[in-house]
Chain A
Amino acid sequence: MTLSTPVIWVIFPLVAAAICILLSGRPQLSLIIASAIAFGLAVLAAFLPHELSLGPLTIVLEESLRFLGRRITLVYAMLPLIALLYAATGLWLLSSNLPGVPKTFRPISLVVTAALTAALGVEPFLYAALLIETMVLVSVPMLSSSTIENRRAVLRFLSLMTLAMPFILIAGWLLTGVDTLPPDSPLIAQSAIVLGLGFAIWLAVFPFHSWVPMISQHSHPTVFSFLFFILPTGVLVFGLNFFNRYGFLRTSETLFNIIRLIGVLMIAYGGVSTAVQDHLKRAFGFSVLVETGFSLLAISSASSGGIIWMLMMLPPRALGYWLWGYTLARLESRYDMVLNLKAIQGQSLRFPFLSSGLILAQFSIAGMPLLASFPIKIALLSQVLAENMVSGLWSFFGGLGLFIFTIRLLLSFHQPIDIEIKQPWFLQDKFPHFLPIILTVVILIISGLFPGKIFPSIIDILAAFPQLQFLP
């Protein structure tokens, strides 16, 4: 029997999404099915052998599938990333029964992950731009709510993401045959600029970032935390394709310097914006910009192993974003209120686990020692510092924004409102609510002490980009 990898990780999740839509009246069942399928696909991607024998039945796996005249090829080397994407989707699906999460989240998250998986393997690879646009369009219903502000945010998201697509397609058209051009041909620079602008818009680089805080402020934390993980991850890995294919890109020192500059700017701008935020959800949005900045910084140090760090940052980021989104969602559902620093004053006395979870999630993303992102961030920053002192110091100080915001949050959490000056502890945390927090924090600590032990094979996807392993 022959099966193809795209059938398993693209077509099957789409079928599962359809089942979830059919089961929308039975939320518990759809939750179990969606999560089980997502985790099942993750496990399959992590441990699937080339040939599977089940008694007399031998299943041979092919890596390609033809579809409407195009080909989707999911090579074995990409499976660790697919495993991470589906595991992350499963994690978010587990928290999809939180109050306020749109019903559409389950099927749409599966479709989004399937589209992203297809984008990683579609040939000609420029079709990935269309698949990413599909992903954006599909995600609109789960982001939407009835408020005007939310509609404006979604419209902004849609407009900017759509604006990026033509840039990528035009760049692809310009890049055709670029390898045969002389190195001083103006077409090379022009195609690189157009390509860069497309990616800058996709990655919400300043000044194309406005949709990020808008979406984070006006959407559900579970939904936007998922989107903020999956979308930049897909775009960044898709970006590796270009470096792998075009020698002039990966050998251009100027390009890497520009990427570093943009990375540092994003870290500094995002960091300052996070530090001065009063709104908890907007702070998340600006931290996403900082994280994208760190990814760009890692790419800029590609010759020193930066791409490995960029990939290694993904699992801790997924865990951190999930915990951050989960705790925000729980807090929001408790109070049905605007999540700003004033509104949450004194809440640590009522929700010590929830507030601790939120604090630790933020610290983990910020790169606090002991927590998951720290080993990678310190290695990356040291390398950048060794290569360029100014960039290293700016990145370090920009990265402090989230630390400052977290201390401000801590101050707010422990500032009882005036009428409750001597407030006793009044625990309202429930065990099922804080159990996921404890488990995630334990994993974050394990990842912080033993880096690379959670999803260790994530760096193996570099085998799919053979040229990137030998960067000068």
Chain B
Amino acid sequence: MLILLPIGLLLLGSVAILIIDLIRPRFGTSWLIAVVSGVASWLVILFSRLRLPATLDLLSWNNPAHRLTGHFSLLLDYQSWPYVLALMTILLALLLTDAARTRFDSSPRAWVVSLAITALGLFAIQSGTSLTMMIAWVVVDLVELFNLLLLQETTQFNQRIIIAYGVRTASILLLFLGTMLGWAANGDFSFVQVPPSAGFVFMLAAGLRLGVIPLNLPFLVEPVLRRGAGNTLRMAPVAASLTLLARLPGEILMPGSSHLKTVLMALLALAALYAAARWVAAKDEIAGRPYWIVAWASFTTVSVLNGVPQSGIPWGMALILSGSLLFLYHPRIQRINFLLLLGLWGMLGLPFTPAASGWAGLLGDGFTLWTFLLLVAHGLMILGFLEHALKPGSEIGALESWARLVFPLGLIMIIQVSVVLGLFGWPGVLTSGLWWMALISNAMILAALILSRRFGVNPPHFQLPISSRTKKVADWLFPRLEPVFRFEWVYRATWQILGFFSRVRQLMSSIFEGEGGILWTILLLVLLISLLTGGGVN
């Protein structure tokens, strides 16, 4: 029951705030309820680390009379616990930092959404079976769909929302297909032992959902809800997909499918590199958030492909924790800018830091061109983080005294959790790791910093001068690459295919539903009879 408690507490808090907001809106009381339910859930999750792994069976369809298969359960294990804690932490950080965003997007309704989405996210992360995960994904997607559509943004944005929803639905259908394959091979199974036949399709499902296989970025323009609830809305589904990746078996590719692995590695490395480059060049951290997610998610997926899914967890933590540190840092307060630099702790991959255990996932069987590209992408991600973190704030608001206290507290919490996870988040986290990989990456970062200074680009502002040739090339190239990576060509191709089938269908309709349709039917009937009876030969 310990697994369900945080979900229940969050939902209770969400409902309570909604009721208060409907009856007699009180900002302070609502915030307090949100924080209390958040803190209580966070403590329960922290405590549950002592009782891993824990399983809770919810419902079973296994019924011989109905010949149905499948069961629903929640599973809190070493793979899901870090994500559960990370998601809870960013919720709490959101609530604390929201105290300083009362002039922006902070409101009781936004907390209702945040608490509910986090509760659903926890449910999805802790899914013990693919059936549970499918249901959780469906609910999370529907909640997100309705929530985004209610924002009433532009027509263009609504189209993007539906396309993103379509991609998410496709990922659910892949989960459906993977479950079918698993059941066909092994019967009912849980995430503790995912059959290899299902594992590959599950990876595709998670990859599609994360936007990495194939690279797709329907949400290049972020919705109005950008920081508070928007951050949870973006991170909760990502965390659920990352957990699925962490739970996959080591061997998901059939023996002898090395070509497929190469193709996938190439796709992932290029996706990571492109996303990292766009992250560095992004106008601000919110504009760069889709690229931030894609780059780190590519790292996690590569770890699965290399047969070390556990090594994807540190990259997932960097995505969620270090990313949220940046995304929730609004309004900017120059004096505490240094806090953001501590976010690098979770990303640099230096020995005995949380990401040190992640290098094994990127290296796999040996150092290849793709590993090098991934190292470059890693360096770019760090540079981009520095660029966005050290940018001077343009919105330094006059904060109330209590907000001045709790705002940095929210950010410190994220850093603390990152440190704690680096110590005992999951088995094997505290390691020197492949220190030479860290050395190469960090040397490249240093070199980039020095070179950029040489070329007149002074840190922390890595934006190239408008007159520079590189800037001109980038400005020409990126807008042209964007439609490619936005997946629009796939939509157009799908439309073309649908158009072709539509024309064939129209032709058949005109034959079978036209004036002579009944004659065609009778003709085919006679042909069928003659065929089935051997054409009258016997």
Show the binding face of A for B, using Cβ within 8 Å: 156, 159-160, 163, 186, 190, 193, 197, 201, 207-210, 213-214, 272-273, 275-278, 304-305, 308-309, 312, 348, 367-370, 375-376, 378-379, 381-383, 385-386, 392, 396, 400, 403-404, 407, 410-411, 414-416, 421-422, 424-425, 449-452, 459
19 A/B residue pairs, CB under 8 Å, sorted by A: A156-B517, A163-B522, A207-B512, A207-B525, A210-B512, A210-B513, A214-B513, A308-B67, A369-B131, A379-B67, A379-B68, A382-B69, A382-B183, A385-B184, A386-B183, A396-B180, A407-B162, A416-B155, A449-B135
Kindly provide the distance from the CB of B129 to the nearest chain A CB, expressed in whole angstroms. Answer: 12
CB-based contact B183/A210 at 8 Å: no
**Smallest beta-carbon distance A160→chain B, Å:** 7
Interface membership of B27, Cβ < 8 A: no
Are B524's CB and A207's CB within 8 A? Answer: yes
Check if B139 sits within 8 Å of A370, measured CB to CB.
yes
CB of B533 within 8 A of CB of A378, answer no
CA distance A382 to B70 in the complex (A): 11
Q: Verify B152–A424 contact, CB threshold 8 A.
A: yes
**Main SS at interface, chain B:** helix
Check if A400 sits within 8 Å of B513, measured CB to CB: no
Q: Within the complex, what minimum Cβ distance (angstroms) separates A338 from chain B? A: 16
The answer to whether the Cβ of B280 comes within 8 Å of any Cβ in the partner chain is no
B505→A276 contact, CB < 8 A: yes
What are the 8 A-B residue pairs with the smallest beta carbon separation, nearest first?
Answer: A305-B67, A276-B502, A386-B184, A382-B183, A210-B512, A369-B134, A385-B184, A407-B166
Query: What residues of B have a CB within 8 angstroms of the CB of A163 in the complex?
Result: 522, 525
Given A163-B525, A272-B501, A378-B183, 15 more pairs with CB closer than 8 A: A186-B538, A193-B532, A193-B533, A272-B505, A367-B176, A369-B172, A376-B68, A382-B183, A385-B180, A392-B184, A396-B176, A403-B173, A414-B159, A449-B135, A452-B65
Task: Determine which of A278, A312, A400, A411 lies in contact with B66 in the assembled complex, contact meaning CB atoms within 8 Å.
Answer: A312
Contact A375 B70 (CB under 8 A): yes
Q: Secondary structure of the A side of the interface?
A: helix
Within 8 A of A (CB), among B37-82: 59, 61, 63, 65-70
CB distance from B502 to the nearest CB of A (A): 4
Candidates B66, B179, B502, B517; contact of A452 at CB < 8 Å: B66
Query: Which residue of A is nearest B494, CB measured?
Result: A404
| Residue among B68, B522, B529, B538 having the largest count of chain A Cβ atoms under 10 Å | B68
Residues in A whose Cβ lies below 8 Å from that of B512: 207, 209-210
Instruction: List residues of B whose CB falls within 8 A of some A CB.
Output: 59, 61, 63, 65-70, 131, 134-135, 137-139, 149, 152, 154-155, 158-159, 161-163, 165-166, 169, 172-173, 176-177, 179-181, 183-185, 498-499, 501-502, 505, 509, 512-513, 517-518, 520-522, 524-525, 528-529, 532-533, 538
Residues A407 and B513 in contact in the complex (CB < 8 Å), given A272-B501, A379-B68: no
User: In the complex, which residues of chain B have a beta carbon less than 8 angstroms from the beta carbon of A449?
Assistant: 59, 135
CB distance from B175 to the nearest CB of A (A): 8
The reply to whether B165 and A375 form a contact with Cβ atoms under 8 Å apart is no
The distance in angstroms between the C-alpha atoms of A272 and B505, with both chains bound, is: 9
A470 to chain B, nearest CB (A): 15
B67 touches A309 (CB 8 A): yes
Shortest distance between the CB of B484 and any CB in chain A (Å): 21
CA distance A379 to B528 in the complex (A): 33
Q: Is the CB of B152 within 8 A of A459?
A: no
